[in-house]
Structures are given as structure tokens and as C-alpha cells.
Amino acid sequence: MRPGGASAGSAQTGQQHADHLWRHTDPKPSYDAVVVGAGGHGLATAFYLAKNHGITNVAVLERGWLAGGNMARNTTIIRSNYLWDESAAIYEHALKLWEGLPEELDYDFLFSQRGVLNLAHTQQDVRDSRRRVYANQLNGVDGEWLTPDEVAKVCPILNVSPETRYPVLGATYQPRAGIAKHDHVAWAFARQCDQYGIDLIQHCEVTGFLTSGNRVTGVRTTRGDIAAGRVAMTAAGHSSVLAGTLGLRLPVQSHPLQALVSELLEPVHPTVVMSNHVHVYVSQAHKGELVMGAGVDSYNSYGQRGSVHVIEQQMAAAVELFPIFARAHVLRTWGGIVDVTPDASPVIGLTPYENLYINCGWGTGGFKATPAVGWVMAHLVATGTPHALNEPFGLDRFTTGALIDEHGAAAVAH
Ligand SMILES: Cc1cc2nc3c(=O)[nH]c(=O)nc-3n(C[C@H](O)[C@H](O)[C@H](O)COP(=O)(O)OP(=O)(O)OC[C@H]3O[C@@H](n4cnc5c(N)ncnc54)[C@H](O)[C@@H]3O)c2cc1C
């Protein structure tokens, strides 16, 4: 049986179990393009390679299980209200794609544009936030500045009392922002890839590259060598490990980033609330859990756990902002490994190898960019040249100094 072929019309109403959305194949000896890592970014890259460029002799190689990395661990916030023009362009391209994606992928992955509030707790926060709103408006990104009273109207359960330790002095609000069900997004891309005949190969770790001069000719894997015309690296928190096998040193550091969910609650939280200053962000999943995240653990690590004190601080901040959560039980916590660059912006572009392309450094915020990453990586792999949207995000910015410093507007401080 070829389980990948769900009929187009069935998806919105009776979606199939993830195991039946794609074929489980063995690797072929060679492909036109190999994508390393079957997270959202890798799957979206393969999808747009087929859809936008007609390239379907493609394998996506995944060392674990499909979308079991950060794609399975993130807190699903989608927004495009970043400060700099370059960031606004790529994140807004992603948001516009998200708006049509359920229909395009024929899969209801619960994309919910419930808005995102980014809180300000100090006068400097207020100035930075208002500056960002003005920048967003100039870039055609929806965004407004709300006073504490206006914040309370959007999110009545939020404590905007001036008596708290870090009072809410206002917030930026992006109404078109929101959340989506991350695992369903991955499955939706995977099913479409499968229907194009793309091989999605799990438990196949890339351990190195085959090279000839400054060309990559294939990949070494735990399931044998595979020849490849072009290779796209979308390995998220492990990018520097992989690049290291070529002697390529990336400007990224890998950190654990944690999140947790509460027990199920009635619908109480209408939007998404984030605070860089007290380091917590909260939304409510469709099923009812409160989904909460914090800042990165400050040390480098590949342990997908993280430290308890980060969770303690995150919970203290959450309970002060949302007193009604004080008695909610934590159901589970987890961590992912995120790769962080010095300017809190991603690296998407060329490498010293002419047919090896890299996408990494998304830190705490790459889920929201998933469709745009796929779009520009597919362009890069298909044409060998950067798309205008990712050109500013090349590795060379760390030598030219043309940094895109998004520390203030990146999700949580890192
Ligand atoms: C707790 C947490 C909360 C987050 N919250 C948000 C959020 O709310 N909004 C947002 O926009 N972003 C968020 N992020 C960030 C976001 O999840 C990542 O930036 C994004 O998922 C990275 O791209 P990806 O989906 O392809 O990564 P991944 O899903 O990690 O994909 C990379 C894949 O590569 C595989 N891989 C690695 N090395 C190899 C190898 N050698 N061979 C083969 N396969 C390999 C991994 O197993 C993995 O499956 C969060 C991350 C975490 C951890």
C-alpha cells in the first residue's frame, strides 16, 4: 500500500494519522537535491522545490523521526512585527504565506490569528516598542501601541495593575499574529512532499559530506553514502556540528530553550502575551493547555532538557501577570536546542562550497518563518543564488559588519 496519497478533499474533514501521510522509503543512491533535517524548514524547502521549481528528485534526511526536533517542541507563535526592514520583509512574507497555507496544503492545522501582545514594563521598553510599531507601520506590517487599559480590553485576564513588581506600561499589538498546530503543519508539508514523490527518510543521520574541490558531491549517512547535486542544510540546533565536519565554523551557539504546558483549562486566554522583560510568554492551545515559554538557558548544551531555575522564574512571572493561573498544574516541560547568532537573526545563504546552502541561527523564533524559509531555500537550491528576501542574511554579514540586530524584537531575550 502507498499510504501517502490522501485524497485532496479528505484533509480538512477527516485527516489521516501522521504515520499514513507519507511513504517510508529507503534512500536511493543519488538525488538532484538532498535536504538535511526533516523539521518544518526542511520539509517546506522540499515542498517549494517541487512546487515552485519542479524539482522532485529530492530526499529529506532526518536523523530522528520526522519533525521530532524543534518543530515538535516550539510554542507555535507566529508574528511578523520585527524591527528591521530585512526582517520585516521575510517574516511578513511568511505570515502572508501562512494566511493561504491551510488551503494550499489542504490541511487544517489550526492557524489562529488571535493577535500577539508584546508587553513593555520600563520606560525604555516603551520607547523601543513604540519605535518598533512605527517601523512596522512603515513596512506595511500591522501593529499598534496599546495603553494598559487597551491591553486589558484585548486580554482581560492580564494583570495591568500598577501595583505589580514590573507593571505593564503598555504593549505592542499585532492583530494578524497568532498560533498554529506545529505538528500538523509538519505533517501537512510532509504529505504534500510525498505526493510529489519526494523521499522522506527517517533514522538517517548525515555524518559528513562527500566533496570534490569546493563542490559537495554527496552526503555520508548512517545508511550509506548518497550522491547529491545540491545539498541544503536545515539542521537547526545541530548546524554547527554538521558544518564542523567540513571545517566550517559558524557564528552560532547552541542553547537549550524550554517550554511547558499546564493541565487543560476552559478557554480563558484570548490572545498571545509575551514579555521579554520578565521572560515569559503564554498562549492557550486549542485543546485548553496554557503553553508557556521562557528565555534560553544561558549555557551551551545539546541536552534537550534545560535547568529547573528557568522554569521557576518563568512560572513566577506568569503567575504575577496572570493571577488566575496560580492554581493551574504543570502537566509537562521539555526543551529544544536552538542555535543563536550574535545579532539574533538567522543565517540563510551560500557557503564556501558552491552547491551547499545553509539555513540556521533562528534562535527562539524560526517556526513563524517556516513557509518563507522553504520558499527562499528552494530558490537558493534551485538557482544557486540567494532570493532577495534572504540576501541580507548571508554568512558574509559577520565579516562585512552589515548585522541585522534584532535582539530587542526577537521573541524572548537571547
Ligand atoms: C521551546 C521552544 C519554543 C519555541 N517557540 C517558538 C515560537 O513560539 N515561535 C517560533 O517562531 N519559533 C519558536 N521556536 C523556534 C523554532 O522551533 C525553531 O527556530 C525552528 O523549528 C527551527 O527550524 P526547524 O523547524 O527546521 O528545526 P527542527 O525541527 O529542529 O529541524 C531540524 C532537524 O534536523 C535534524 N538533524 C539535525 N542534525 C542532523 C543530521 N546530522 N542528519 C540528519 N538530520 C539532522 C533534527 O533531528 C531535526 O529534526 C521555539 C523553539 C523551542 C525549542
Determine whether the shortest distance from the Cβ of 177 to ligand 1 is under 6 A.
Answer: no
Determine whether the shortest distance from the Cβ of 178 to ligand 1 is under 6 A.
Answer: no
Does the structure show a pLDDT above 70 at 272?
A: yes
Query: Measured between alpha carbons, how far apart are the two ends of the chain, in Å?
Result: 47
Cβ contact 399:411 at 8 Å: no
In DSSP notation, 82-135 reads -SSHHHHHHHHHHHHHHHHHHHHHT-----B---EEEEE-SHHHHHHHHHHHHH
65 C-alpha to ligand 1 centroid (Å)? 12
Residues 6+ apart with CB under 8 A from 162: none
Q: How far from chain centre, in Å, is Cα 407?
A: 16
Determine whether the shortest distance from the Cβ of 44 to ligand 1 is under 6 A.
Answer: no
Q: Report which ligand 1 atom has the smallest distance to the Cα of 336.
A: 53
Joined together, the cell numbers standing for residue 304 give 534537550
Q: What is the pLDDT of residue 410?
A: 66
Residues 6+ apart with CB under 8 A from 358: 232, 233, 239, 243, 250, 347, 348, 349, 350, 351, 395
Q: Which helix (H) or strand (E) holds 184?
A: helix 182-195
Q: Report which ligand 1 atom has the smallest distance to the Cα of 338.
A: 53
**CA nearest 198: which of 401, 36, 49?**
49
Does the structure show a pLDDT above 50 at 8?
A: no
* pLDDT tens digits along 97-126: 999 999 999 999 999 999 999 999 999 999
Determine whether the shortest distance from the Cβ of 41 to ligand 1 is under 6 A.
Answer: yes
**CA nearest 367: which of 234, 242, 277, 232?**
234
Determine whether the shortest distance from the Cβ of 236 to ligand 1 is under 6 A.
Answer: yes
**CA nearest 1: which of 15, 22, 28?**
22
Please give the mean pLDDT across all residues of the chain: 93
- Substitution site in 174, 283, 348, 364 for ligand 1 pocket (most atoms within 8 Å of beta carbon): 364
Q: What is the pLDDT of residue 10?
A: 41
pTM: 0.95
Q: What is the pLDDT of residue 184?
A: 96
Q: What is the pLDDT of residue 407?
A: 86
Q: Report which ligand 1 atom has the smallest distance to the Cα of 366.
A: 19
387 C-alpha to ligand 1 centroid (Å)? 22
User: What distance in Å separates the CA atoms of residue 74 and residue 258, rounded to the nearest whole number?
Assistant: 9
Determine whether the shortest distance from the Cβ of 368 to ligand 1 is under 6 A.
Answer: yes
Q: What is the pLDDT of residue 411?
A: 54
Does the structure show a pLDDT above 80 at 52?
A: yes
Q: What is the pLDDT of residue 4?
A: 35
Q: What are phi and psi of 323, to 5 degrees?
A: -55, -25
Chain length of the chain: 414
Determine whether the shortest distance from the Cβ of 238 to ligand 1 is under 6 A.
Answer: yes
Q: pLDDT over 70 for what percent of the chain?
A: 95
- Substitution site in 260, 367, 368, 393 for ligand 1 pocket (most atoms within 8 Å of beta carbon): 367
Determine whether the shortest distance from the Cβ of 339 to ligand 1 is under 6 A.
Answer: no
Q: Report which ligand 1 atom has the smallest distance to the Cα of 42.
A: 26
122 C-alpha to ligand 1 centroid (Å)? 32
**Which DSSP letter does residue 254 get?**
E
* pLDDT tens digits along 251-269: 999 999 999 999 999 999 9
337 C-alpha to ligand 1 centroid (Å)? 7
User: What distance in Å separates the CA atoms of residue 376 and residue 359, rounded to the nearest whole number?
Assistant: 10
Amino acid code (one letter) for 108: D
Classified as helix, coil or strand, 32 is strand
* pLDDT tens digits along 133-158: 999 999 999 999 999 999 999 999 99
Dihedral Cα 235, 236, 241, 244, nearest 10 deg? 80
Residues 6+ apart with CB under 8 A from 296: 255, 256, 257, 338, 340, 363, 364, 412, 414
Most confident of the ranges 193-202, 290-299, 304-313: 193-202
* pLDDT tens digits along 314-364: 999 999 999 999 999 999 999 999 999 999 999 999 999 999 999 999 999
Q: Are strands 58-61 and 77-78 parallel, antiparallel or unpaired?
A: unpaired
Does the structure show a pLDDT above 70 at 11?
A: no
Determine whether the shortest distance from the Cβ of 80 to ligand 1 is under 6 A.
Answer: no
Q: How far from chain centre, in Å, is Cα 393?
A: 16
Cβ contact 239:41 at 8 Å: no
